[in-house]
Amino acid sequence: MVVANFIDAFQRAPRRYGFIDGVHALRAFAAISVVVYHAGGAVGADKYFALAGIKQATSGLDCGVDIFFVISGFVISLPLFLGKSQRIGRYVVNRLLRIYPISILTAVIFLGFGWLLYNRQPSLDQIASSILLMPSETTATPVVLWTLKQELLFYAVFSLTFIHSTLGLVVVFGWSIASLFVPDSSVFTHWFFNPHNVQFAFGILGAFLSTKFLVASKAAPWVAAISLTSVLGISEYSKLVEMNEALTALMLGFFASGTVLGMASLRGRIPKPIIPHSPSKSLILLSGSQYFRYKSWC
């Protein structure tokens, strides 16, 4: 009952473009799981506390990234399936403002402290990779900025739907499927055809299903719980047996989309929250600030 009312707090937030508010709860979980994953890795590192048990226990929680990608595809495509018009100029500005201010601040802090404390002067290639989020042979600082490179790429490809919705979706799905098969032979292919790209497509498919067929159901919590458990299990198992990256991304995307659909169909089922004054604003702020939190703690 407590969990149900916690979810209801998200569902009472104002809707924008028909946004299904149950997904906020999942986004908050994904953000926290990635923070815990990086914290567990730090605690388990030999140079810190060497608590290998904690590192192993949290090793599967990086699946929060996969959930993020599915949610991105879901949220970005939702207005399209709801028939809500949006100008491409506004779309581009909103996407850039969502990504760059926080990512630039994070990169400057990490690069700055690395230079001041450890005399690690960043190269131009590292600056381009970390601040401009350009594909590069140099790893971005912090390393988790690679996720934003994929987000920006998806936003760019999805913008084709503003020119022609059907053709644009065909291109997006074709690109996503191709990402599972194109070999990782260069910096460009590693970025443009990253297997994680397929997870955006699962999010788009989830948005289509939620707007065309999804209704509130008593089975929704079970669908969300079983799917999320599967995501966590696959993420953990993939590290134990070193699963193929494309297969792992495909499976995680499939079950993460099930989790999103389950959370989306929870709307309107809970009578009232147990807390007199709904904390939905604060909870949505928690879920909306995921990039800064998991970057800052990695």
To the nearest whole percent, how much of the chain has pLDDT over 90?
50
Structure-block tokens of residue 73: 């595809």
Decide if pLDDT at 89 tops 50: yes
Cα Rg of the chain, angstroms: 19
* Residue-level pLDDT at 20: 62
Virtual CA dihedral for 24, 25, 27, 32, nearest 10 degrees?
Answer: 140
Q: Are 40 and 57 in contact (CB under 8 A)?
A: yes
Q: Are 157 and 150 in contact (CB under 8 A)?
A: no
- Residue 35: name the closest of 81, 68, 72, 80 by CA: 68
Whole-model pTM: value is: 0.83
Structure-block tokens of residue 18: 């028909």
The residue-averaged pLDDT of 155-179 equals 96
Q: Are 73 and 103 in contact (CB under 8 A)?
A: no
The residue-averaged pLDDT of 121-145 equals 91
CA 150-152-158 angle, 5° bins: 100
In sequence order, what DSSP letters do the residues of 155-193 get, joined into one string? HHHHGGGGT-HHHHHHHHHHHHHHTTTS---SHHHHHHT
* Residue-level pLDDT at 173: 97
* Residue-level pLDDT at 183: 92
Structure-block tokens of residue 135: 């594909």
- Residue 172: name the closest of 155, 186, 184, 189 by CA: 155
What is the H or E stretch that residue 250 is in?
helix 245-264
* Residue-level pLDDT at 21: 65
CA 62/CA 257 separation, integer angstroms: 16
DSSP designation for 139: P
- Residue 238: name the closest of 251, 222, 219, 254 by CA: 251
Mean pLDDT taken over the chain: 81
